[in-house]
Amino acid sequence: MYDHIGLHVKDLAASSRFYGAVLAPLGLVADASGSGFGPAGAPALWLYEGSKGGGKNEAGTHVAFRAATRVAVDRFHAEGLRAGGRDNGAPGLRIDYSPTYYAAFLIDPDGNNVEAVCMEPR
């Protein structure tokens, strides 16, 4: 798993709702601020409202979250679609990456490509 990631978002409330929904099936929760997410007491994803640098939101970041099971990957995708994300790759094996690489991809409300991946064999 990664250490931490910071994403600049256009609408902090909408993005916080989205990430709260898609990360819950993976066992990750929001911190007290509502804009930090990760294992309880150890947020590793931070959302920041506004632009980075020259006044234009720089969306398009790719973030991959490790899932313990393929069912969690499936739930990540389903919850993400319900929370307003767009499909960018339905749950399934990506054998071109690895024989056990089971992943799903979504585009979040700001255009970031988010992924849940499980490397465990069936």
Alpha carbon distance 30, 24 (integer Å): 9
117 pLDDT band, cuts 50/70/90, is very high
- Where are the domains positioned within the chain? 5-49+59-118
Tens of pLDDT, residue by residue over 16-58, are 999 999 999 999 999 999 999 999 998 989 898 876 544 333 4
Across the chain, the runs of DSSP E, i.e. the strands, are 5-9, 29-30, 36-38, 45-49, 62-66, 86-93, 102-107, 113-118
Which class does domain 5-49+59-118 fall in?
A: alpha beta
Instruction: Tell me the pTM.
Output: 0.73
Average pLDDT, the chain: 89
